[in-house]
């Protein structure tokens, strides 16, 4: 099937086949990688290779540490407040959709949540432009959501901010194109879209920020301790970390982020062109310069046709197209593991569906 799921999402077939082939016997050890100690030489090698390859893939400079976390993106939204803001300190949030609001909610018990700008009044059909951002002089950090997975809104270029470091949720667009990591204090992502399987997350954090005192917290929630122990303060999710490593290697082999930027443009342009060229049968209401290359929500003339589209596309071998319950309609997620042919098939199906039901 062609899998357009928003997450957990498609993984490349080559990655799944490799994992299957290695599952029962890791490199002649007679045991599976999931049965070996995380501190043994076999897994330590997997971990070291994965970090090195991720650094190459995303051009992560030495100024930034990399963490592989057991919690996903939501967990980091709480932990970053505990690690980098003092109790009740201001944090600025740029609100561009559902996940920006979740980020605020997770930080709210610990910090003074300030909305620097929001596109909610317009139904999250655009990103707040930089001249609308009202930044606090005393903010611990500024939080943005690079790509809103549910509303299909993406910052094509995240603006620079003033004094406070920029923290960004890249859960649904990491590794989809070149990224200047040095611009950010912290980048985080749940893996289950572009990076790998659910159950592991990635945090890329500027090392000097790790010296901040933050707030009282257990050592397990302390990013500096996690960095010092190579993300192994306790038993890490080794299977998920290993699969992420296979996927990172696959992305490098395919040509890296420059190649995925090219494919993402091609896939999303084809789908938006099909929507815009349908004479209003299919609708996407996001402003042209904020349309996501990763998640494309669209609507048919009524909810009954939406449901029929989901059922018929599934029967035609395309899964994961039902829109999120918060917005309804259809949503096609076009992550790195989704091939160009999948989008060509979807566009063909859309044309055929319109002819039959339009
Ligand atoms: N942020 C974004 C942009 C997401 O798309 C998601 C999940 O879909 C999350 C955060 C939450 O991630 P997790 O389930 O890993 O906590």
For the stretch 285-310, pLDDT in tens is 999 999 999 999 999 999 999 999 99
Q: What pLDDT, on a 0 to 100 scale, did the predictor assign at position 184?
A: 98
Tokens of 36: 């070996």
pTM: 0.98
Pocket of ligand 1 (CB under 6 A): 7, 72-74, 99, 145, 149, 169, 171-172, 190
Residue 147 alpha carbon, nearest atom of ligand 1: 3
* 3-class SS letters over the chain: CEECCCCCCCCCHHHHHHHHHHCCCCCCCCCCHHHCCCCCHHHHHHHHHHHHHHHHHHCCCCCEEEEEECCCHHHHHHHHHHHHCCCCCEEEEEECCHHHHHHHHHHCCCCEEEEEEECHHHCCCCCCCHHHCCCCCCCCCEEEECEECCCCEECCCCCCCCCCCEEEECCCCCCCCCCCHHHCCEEEEECCCCCCCCCCEEEEEEHHHHHCCCCCCCHHHCHHHHHHCCCCCCCCCHHHHHHHHHHHHHHHHHCHHHHHHHHHHHHHHHHHHHHHCCCCCCECCCCHHHECCCEEEEECCCHHHHHHHHHHHHHCCEECCECCCCCCCEEEECCCCCCHHHHHHHHHHHHHHHHHHC
Instruction: Tell me the per-residue pLDDT of 99-122, one tens digit each, with 9 for 90 and over.
Output: 999 999 999 999 999 999 999 999
Give distance in angstroms: CA of 148 to centre of ligand 1: 9
What is the 104 CA–ligand 1 centroid distance (Å)?
A: 13
pLDDT at position 225:
98
Distance (angstroms) between ligand 1 centre and the Cα of 103 equals: 10
What percent of the chain has pLDDT above 90? 98
Query: How many Å lie between the centroid of ligand 1 and the Cα of residue 3?
Result: 18
User: Has residue 136 got a pLDDT over 90?
Assistant: yes
Model confidence pLDDT, tens digit, residues 67-89: 999 999 999 999 999 999 999 99
Write down the ipTM of this complex. Answer: 0.99
- 99 classed as catalytic: yes
Q: Which domains does the chain have, with CATH numbers?
A: 13-254 (3.40.640.10), 256-357 (3.90.1150.10)
Q: Which residues make up each annotated binding site for L-glutamate?
A: 39
pLDDT at 201 over 90: yes
Closest ligand 1 atom to residue 74 Cα is: 16
* Average per-residue pLDDT for the chain: 97
Average pLDDT on 216-222 reads 98
Clarify whether 302 is annotated catalytic.
no
CA-nearest residue for atom 6, ligand 1, is 171
* From 5, 149, 188, mutation site for ligand 1 pocket: most ligand atoms within 8 A of C-beta: 149
**The one catalytic residue among 26, 99, 241, 250:** 99
Catalytic annotation on 26? no
Residue 133 pLDDT greater than 90, yes or no: yes
Annotated binding-site residues read 39, 73-74, 99, 149, 169, 192, 234-235
pLDDT over 90 at 163, yes or no? no
160 pLDDT more than 90? no
Whether pLDDT at 162 is above 90: no
d(CA 333, ligand 1 centre) in Å: 14
Averaged over 255-284, what is the pLDDT?
98
Residue 161 has pLDDT above 90, yes or no: no
């Amino acid at each position: 099937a062609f899998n357009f799921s928003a997450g957990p999402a498609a993984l490349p077939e080559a990655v799944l086949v490799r994992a299957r082939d290695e599952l029962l016997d890791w490199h002649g050890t007679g045991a599976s990688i999931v049965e070996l100690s995380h501190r043994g030489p076999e897994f330590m090698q997997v971990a070291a290779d994965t970090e090195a390859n991720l650094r190459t893939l995303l051009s992560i400079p030495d100024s930034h540490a990399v963490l592989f976390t057991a919690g996903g993106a939501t967990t980091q939204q709480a932990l970053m407040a505990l690690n980098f803001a003092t109790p009740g300190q201001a944090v600025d949030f740029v609100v561009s959709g559902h996940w920006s609001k979740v980020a605020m909610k997770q930080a709210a018990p610990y910090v003074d949540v300030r909305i620097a700008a929001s596109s909610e009044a317009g139904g999250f059909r655009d990103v707040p432009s930089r001249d609308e951002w009202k930044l606090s002089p005393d903010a611990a950090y500024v939080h943005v959501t690079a790509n809103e997975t549910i509303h299909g809104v993406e910052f094509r270029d995240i603006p620079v901010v003033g004094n406070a470091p920029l923290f960004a949720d890249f859960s649904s667009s990491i590794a989809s194109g070149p990224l200047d990591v040095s611009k950010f204090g912290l980048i985080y992502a749940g893996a289950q879209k572009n990076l790998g399987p659910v159950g592991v997350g990635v945090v890329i954090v500027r090392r000097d920020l790790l010296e901040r005192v933050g707030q009282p917290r257990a050592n397990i929630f302390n990013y500096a301790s996690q960095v010092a122990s190579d993300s192994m303060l306790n038993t890490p999710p080794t299977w998920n970390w290993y699969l992420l490593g296979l996927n990172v290697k696959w992305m490098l082999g395919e040509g890296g982020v420059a190649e995925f930027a090219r494919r993402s443009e091609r896939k999303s342009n084809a789908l938006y062109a099909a929507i815009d060229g349908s004479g209003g049968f299919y609708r996407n209401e996001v402003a042209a310069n904020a349309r996501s290359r990763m998640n494309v929500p669209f609507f048919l003339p009524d909810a009954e046709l939406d449901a029929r589209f989901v059922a018929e596309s599934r029967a035609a071998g395309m899964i994961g197209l039902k829109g999120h319950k918060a917005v309804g309609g259809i949503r096609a997620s076009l992550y790195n593991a989704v091939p160009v042919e999948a989008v060509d098939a979807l566009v063909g199906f859309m044309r055929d569906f319109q002819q039959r039901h339009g």
